[in-house]
Every structure is written in structure tokens, then in C-alpha cells.
């Protein structure tokens, strides 16, 4: 016998789609492209917990500092993370609550299958 079938997903209440100009559609697609790289996604997730330095991210993820710095430059340009200089060190954090919610919601979404 096979595994029991998965229950049907719960219906999502209908809500009006927010208006999005065509130029903003491309900007949004570029943001999602940035998150398509697993290393960049892991870096963004690392910034969810609060300000973190390049060295801390590199150590935590097992990546080189130069690679993390490169990815952070791209992520800053895409407005997914922001930076705060404190003396000689730069700390990175998630850009804003909108980005934090998208990432957190998608993590919850993929973890639903594990339950």
C-alpha cells in the first residue's frame, strides 16, 4: 500500500491583487532572481536575526569573506539588505519588514511539506 494521500490545501481567501506598474514588475523579478542563488538566499536569511558583519556571515555559512561581500553588494543594490557602518565595520540587516515577511513566509511555506 502507498502512503496516504495528502489533504487538499486550505482555500486562500480572495484578495485584490495590488497594482504593479510594468517597470516595477521587472524590479520585482530582479529581486526574486537575487534570491534564486542558494548562497545569496542563505545570506539574506542570516540577516533576519539582526545586524551581522561580513565575517560573521562568512563563518556561519562556510563561505569566503570575498564571496559574501560580493553577494552583499548585489543584495544591497536589489534593496534586499541594508548596511550600517559602525566605525571600521559594516553590519548588514534585512532591508525592511516587507522583505522579512516574504522570506519568513516562504520558509514557513516550504517547511509545511516537512510536517
Helix/strand/coil for 65: helix
Angle of helix 97-112 relative to helix 38-46, nearest 10 degrees, comes to 120
Residues 6+ apart with CB under 8 A from 110: none
pLDDT along the chain (115 residues), means of 10: 66 81 93 96 96 97 98 97 94 96 95 74
pTM of the predicted model, to two decimals? 0.83
> Hey, what CATH topology would domain 31-112 get?
Arc Repressor Mutant, subunit A (1.10.10)
Rounded Cα distance, 115 and 107, in Å: 13
Domain ranges across the chain: 31-112
Amino acid at each position: 500500500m502507498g502512503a496516504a494521500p495528502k489533504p487538499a490545501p486550505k482555500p486562500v481567501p480572495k484578495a485584490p491583487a495590488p497594482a504593479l506598474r510594468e517597470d516595477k514588475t521587472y524590479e520585482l523579478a530582479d529581486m526574486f532572481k537575487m534570491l534564486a542563488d542558494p548562497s545569496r538566499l542563505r545570506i539574506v536569511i542570516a540577516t533576519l536575526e539582526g545586524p551581522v558583519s561580513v565575517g560573521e556571515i562568512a563563518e556561519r555559512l562556510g563561505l569566503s569573506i570575498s564571496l559574501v561581500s560580493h553577494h552583499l553588494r548585489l543584495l544591497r543594490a536589489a534593496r534586499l539588505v541594508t548596511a550600517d557602518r559602525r566605525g571600521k565595520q559594516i553590519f548588514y540587516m534585512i532591508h525592511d519588514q516587507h522583505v522579512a515577511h516574504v522570506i519568513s513566509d516562504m520558509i514557513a511555506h516550504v517547511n509545511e511539506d516537512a510536517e
